[in-house]
């Protein structure tokens, strides 16, 4: 009966991999956890950076607007116009009589027909007084020969209109169009600006085209029609003839500081002046304050999430900075700053209150009531976050956040730099551990490959002895 020798069977590749993995397992587990924490920290810090930047941007916008107070300019009869007011407007009422509205000139030119383009000369478009000295501001020339865009040798009214509209010196001041009446094309010029100073006319003194000269000069009385006469707006501050007359080219008036009024209808003799009332717009002001409330709540949501202690009962994990004293100090500081009093008033005075979770909410009714009695202190309370003279709530909040957001020495940049250094160090450690793994793998692979060879040789020797000395006879 043959002798039987048995030994464990090894796959050198699998065995080497398993042993090499085991040799670095503890280090790998520690390194993986450290790397994950560093990556999570980086993401959290960048998220916090964005949240702070967004809130500070909102405060900067509020500061640059000069006032949270929204003003309105209301017409007693909106048929005559509408108005707006900015923060510089002073509350009050103003009476206006609209004698006439400013209009834009419109003139039609008939008798124009297709004529030879070559040697047609130059047609000048004049803006304003046609007798005034020619300047780049009040005139531009049309080369009639170059206006023949289809190069058929003929110049049509349509090509003249296109040349006027496309002239680089027009600057959209004049619009030329074609109106066809009784199969006859009429060139219509319309000023895009109102007022006498923007009236549009054609100067054909340099036109050498006989047909055009006849239409624009010889037969001018018949062919040229003033469709709409350019005129200035005339508005009286107060009653007509007894108030102060204001004349200008536009229907939009800015004579009252901080107020823009656009008149849309002229009055008849005997009509009462329209009253424009400038006052605090509580609805617009509430919108401005709500923007601050919303921006703060977004920042607080990020801060609370990062510093949350979690809830094991509800399977809610703690925030990455749950035990960070610096972040918790910032949260406490911001909360205290929101409660501060400036000049005897606080956010609560104007309807901004803290909820149980620390978020803010706005009571518009309380805000409106406070604005009615004391609108001026709202801007003093909020102040500004300017670098030169920060003040109020905005100044305090910006200073507190600046300790974190300062781009050279703030907490955020310091922590991000430190975390980046840690990530680089962990990356090097990962490379080193990979090298250790590879070395161990090669060593184990060599050892178990040689063991496998020895086993195979042993099996062959056993087989040889069996062949030589084995007794298979029954």
pTM of model > 0.75: no
Q: How far apart are CA 148 and CA 142, in angstroms?
A: 11
- The pLDDT assigned to 11 comes to 86
Q: How far apart are CA 368 and CA 361, in angstroms?
A: 15
Write the pLDDT tens digit of every residue in 192-223.
999 999 999 999 999 998 888 998 998 889 99
* Residue 148 tokens, joined: 């023949």
- Per the structure, the complete domain to which residue 327 belongs is given by 1-70+281-474
CA angle 97, 98, 99 (to 5 degrees): 105
- The pLDDT assigned to 144 comes to 92
- Per-residue pLDDT band for 386 (boundaries 50, 70, 90) equals confident
- The pLDDT assigned to 1 comes to 46
3-class secondary structure, 336: helix
Average pLDDT score over residue span 126-154: 92
Other C-beta atoms closer than 10 Å to the C-beta of 320 total: 19
Neighbouring C-alpha atoms within 13 Å toward the C-beta of 353: 9
Measured on CA atoms in the order 454, 456, 458, 464, is the torsion positive or negative?
negative
Tell me how far CA of residue 260 lies from CA of 85, 197, 217, 254, in angstroms. Answer: 6, 22, 43, 5
- Per-residue pLDDT band for 474 (boundaries 50, 70, 90) equals very low
Same-domain check for residues 223 and 242: no
Same-domain check for residues 25 and 136: no
- The pLDDT assigned to 9 comes to 67
Contact 274, 280 (CB under 8 A): no
Same-domain check for residues 64 and 88: no
3-class secondary structure, 131: coil
The helix-helix angle for 392-405 and 325-338 (nearest 10°) equals 170
Same-domain check for residues 433 and 303: yes
Through-space distance between the first and last CA atoms of the chain, rounded to whole angstroms: 10
Q: Which of 58, 101, 64, 55 is nearest to 86 (CA)?
A: 64
Q: Which of 272, 235, 197 is nearest to 100 (CA)?
A: 235
Count how many domains the chain has: 3
Q: Is it the case that residue 459 has pLDDT exceeding 80?
A: no
The torsion angles phi and psi of 254, rounded to 5 degrees, stand at: -130, 30
Write the pLDDT tens digit of every residue in 225-248.
999 999 999 999 999 999 999 999
* Residue 427 tokens, joined: 């990356």
Distance from chain centroid for Cα 472: 96
Write the pLDDT tens digit of every residue in 88-139.
898 899 999 999 999 999 999 999 888 888 888 999 999 999 989 999 899 9
- The pLDDT assigned to 468 comes to 79
Same-domain check for residues 75 and 51: no
Same-domain check for residues 39 and 135: no
Instruction: Name which residue leads in pLDDT, 198 or 149.
Output: 198
Q: Please name the residues in contact with 339: beta carbons below 8 A apart, sequence gap of 6 or more.
A: 346, 347, 354
Same-domain check for residues 117 and 11: no
Same-domain check for residues 161 and 295: no
Query: What's the chain's average pLDDT?
Result: 91
Q: Please name the residues in contact with 104: beta carbons below 8 A apart, sequence gap of 6 or more.
A: 190, 191, 192, 193, 194, 195, 198, 228, 230
Domain boundary, last residue among 212, 228, 244: 228
Write the pLDDT tens digit of every residue in 274-332.
999 999 999 999 999 999 999 999 999 999 999 998 888 888 888 999 989 999 999 99
* Residue 303 tokens, joined: 């801060």
- The pLDDT assigned to 470 comes to 67
- The pLDDT assigned to 471 comes to 56
**pLDDT cut 70: percent of the chain above it:** 97
Other C-beta atoms closer than 10 Å to the C-beta of 130 total: 15
Q: Concatenated DSSP letters for 254-319?
A: --STTEEEEE--PPPTTPPPEEEEEEE-HHHHHHHHHHHHHHHHHHHHHHHHHH---BGGGTBPPP
* Residue 359 tokens, joined: 């978020």
- The pLDDT assigned to 236 comes to 98
Q: Tokens 């916008």 — which residue?
A: 61
Q: How far apart are CA 417 and CA 423, in angstroms?
A: 10
Same-domain check for residues 262 and 181: no
Same-domain check for residues 65 and 77: no
- Per-residue pLDDT band for 472 (boundaries 50, 70, 90) equals low
Same-domain check for residues 183 and 258: no
Q: Is 88 exposed, middle or buried (0-12, 13-18, 19+ CB in 10 A)?
A: exposed
Write the pLDDT tens digit of every residue in 52-86.
999 999 999 999 888 899 999 999 999 999 999 98
Tell me how far CA of residue 163 lies from CA of 42, 170, 181, in angstroms. Answer: 61, 10, 22
Q: How far apart are CA 226 and CA 211, in angstroms?
A: 21
The helix-helix angle for 325-338 and 282-307 (nearest 10°) equals 160
- The pLDDT assigned to 444 comes to 86
Identify the helix (H) or strand (E) that includes residue 160.
helix 157-166
- Per-residue pLDDT band for 20 (boundaries 50, 70, 90) equals confident
- The pLDDT assigned to 116 comes to 85
Instruction: Name which residue leads in pLDDT, 23 or 243.
Output: 243
Q: How far apart are CA 185 and CA 160, in angstroms?
A: 12
Same-domain check for residues 241 and 166: no
- Write out 317-356 in H/E/C secondary structure: CCCCCCCCHHHHHHHHHHHHHHCCCECCECHHHHCEEECC
Average pLDDT score over residue span 136-152: 92
């Amino acid at each position: 009966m043959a002798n039987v020798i048995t030994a464990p069977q090894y796959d050198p590749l699998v065995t080497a991999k398993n042993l090499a993995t085991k040799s670095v397992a503890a280090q790998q587990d520690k390194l993986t956890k450290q790397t994950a924490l560093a990556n999570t920290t980086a993401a959290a810090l960048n998220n916090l950076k964005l949240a702070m930047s967004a809130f500070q941007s909102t405060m900067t916008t509020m500061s640059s607007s000069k006032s949270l107070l929204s003003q309105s300019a209301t017409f007693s009869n909106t048929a005559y116009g509408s108005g707006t007011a900015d923060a510089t407007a002073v509350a009050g009422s103003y009476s206006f009589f609209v004698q006439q509205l400013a209009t834009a000139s419109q003139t039609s030119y008939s008798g124009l027909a297709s004529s030879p383009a070559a040697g047609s000369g130059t047609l000048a478009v004049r803006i304003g007084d046609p007798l005034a000295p020619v300047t780049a501001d009040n005139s531009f020339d049309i080369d009639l020969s170059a206006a023949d865009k289809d190069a058929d040798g003929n110049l049509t009214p349509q090509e003249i209109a296109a040349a006027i509209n496309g002239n680089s010196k027009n600057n959209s001041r004049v619009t030329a169009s074609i109106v066809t009446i009784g199969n006859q094309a009429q060139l219509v010029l319309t000023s895009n600006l109102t007022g006498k100073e923007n009236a549009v006319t054609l100067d054909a003194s340099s036109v050498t085209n006989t047909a055009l000269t006849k239409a624009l000069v010889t037969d001018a009385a018949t062919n040229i029609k003033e469709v709409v006469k350019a005129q200035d707006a005339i508005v009286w501050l107060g009653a007509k003839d007894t108030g102060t007359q204001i004349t200008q080219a536009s229907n939009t008036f800015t004579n009252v500081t901080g107020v823009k009024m656009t008149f849309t209808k002229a009055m008849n003799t005997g009509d009462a002046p329209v009253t424009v009332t400038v006052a605090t717009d509580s609805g617009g002001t509430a919108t401005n304050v709500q923007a601050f409330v919303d921006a703060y709540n977004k920042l607080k949501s990020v801060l609370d999430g990062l510093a949350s202690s979690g809830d094991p009962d509800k399977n809610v994990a703690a925030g990455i900075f749950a035990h960070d004293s610096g972040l918790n100090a910032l949260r406490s500081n911001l909360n205290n700053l929101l409660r501060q009093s400036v000049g005897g008033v606080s956010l609560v005075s104007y309807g901004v209150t803290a909820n149980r979770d620390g978020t803010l909410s706005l009571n518009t009714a309380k805000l409106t009531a406070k604005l009615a009695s004391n609108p001026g202190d709202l801007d003093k309370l909020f102040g500004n976050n300017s670098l030169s003279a920060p003040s109020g709530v905005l100044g305090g909040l910006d200073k507190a956040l600046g300790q974190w957001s300062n781009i050279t020495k703030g907490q955020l940049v310091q922590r991000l730099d430190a975390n980046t250094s840690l990530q680089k160090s962990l990356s090097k450690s990962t490379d080193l551990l990979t090298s250790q793994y590879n070395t161990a793998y090669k060593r184990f692979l060599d050892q178990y490959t040689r063991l496998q060879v020895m086993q195979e040789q042993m099996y062959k020797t056993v087989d040889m002895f069996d062949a030589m000395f084995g007794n298979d006879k029954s």
